[in-house]
Structure 1
């Protein structure tokens, strides 16, 4: 209770920074896409044996989660 919603935080940022935040969903989805690409590149290096750290094997699940979230934003917003 009393906490700002995400939309309220975005609106407040736009107001204080003097920035147009009407296309925020586009930037959010694009940011998730960029993170997915980075994670996928690291996973690809692991998959092809270019790095041996077994923790990287789980990155593919992060890639799928980022993709799912980005697609949900695209499907539910006006971008």
Structure 2
């Protein structure tokens, strides 16, 4: 079960990193436009930044939950051994 969770986590992280890399390229391009693209782009960047922070929070929570379950499993194994 733990191996499946680890594999699932790795696959999710690979997809998230790929999507984030694409978005950061857009952000980098948008931050240095050749022409002033107006308020709409600035609002989009602000929304994207908020979303990026939420994604970071979700990934932190997911990582914490994986670690918590790992420790819980180790504790159960120790109890059975004792």
User: Smaller-chain TM-score range?
Assistant: 0.3 to 0.5
Q: Output the TM-score relative to the length of structure 2.
A: 0.46
Higher Rg of the two aligned structures: 2
Q: Output the TM-score relative to the length of structure 1.
A: 0.47
- Higher helix proportion: 2
- More RCO (CA 8 Å, sep 6+): 2
